[in-house]
Amino acid sequence: MIKSKNSIAHALLFVILFLLSSCYYDELVESEPLAEDVVISFTEDIQPILKTNCSSCHPLLVPALDLTENNAYESMVNEAYVIPENAEGSTFYQRLLGNPTIMPPSGALPDSDIEIIRRWIEQGAPNN
Ligand code: HEC
């Protein structure tokens, strides 16, 4: 009797260890969050997102907001679509969240792209 209780205990211990190790594994495979102090570059990080997702319609359909390579920064920041250090208050950022309508119209950008844009605005929206 004692022997079989022991093997049940062993089996339970095995299951618990297995569950714990699989939780740990889940955490390992998740993509790493962007470190807080990473400096976002307008040219290297923001422009490619705009080029892929926005510049086909902006400015052709929306002349006020030109998101093509040489005009994007001026159009976004000088026309106050982006308010440096205030992502929540920026029309540009609000549109990525769907307020009042989602941009791009085909569906929201990946969370990681939205986060990069938010960080860049909060870092003062530099033309770097
Ligand atoms: C398929 C075409 C299309 C794409 C792609 C697109 N937009 Fe738009 N966008 C529009 C249209 C049309 C409007 C005007 C209607 C409206 O406000 O919803 C607009 C409006 C906006 C406005 C508000 C402009 C204003 O003057 O109020 C912002 C900001 C904006 N888009 C940002 C973006 C961003 C950022 C992207 C890429 C992530 C993007 N858009 C991609 C078509 C597009």
Distance from C-alpha of 7 to C-alpha of 124, rounded to nearest angstrom: 62
pLDDT value of position 84:
98
pLDDT value of position 121:
98
Query: Cα(112) to centroid of ligand 1, in Å?
Result: 19
Q: What does the domain layout of the chain look like in residue ranges?
A: 1-30, 42-122
48 cis-preceded (ω within 30 degrees of 0): no
pLDDT digits (tens, 9 = 90+) for 10-62: 776 666 555 555 555 455 555 667 787 899 999 999 999 999 999 999 999 99
Continuous segment of H or E residues that includes residue 51: helix 47-53
pLDDT digits (tens, 9 = 90+) for 72-82: 999 999 999 99
Ligand 1 contact, 101 CB (< 6 A):
yes
Ligand 1 contact, 6 CB (< 6 A):
no
| Nearest-atom index, ligand 1, CA of 109 | 38
The structure tokens listed for 20 are 């714990």
Ligand 1 site-directed mutation target among 46, 51, 65, most atoms within 8 Å of CB: 65
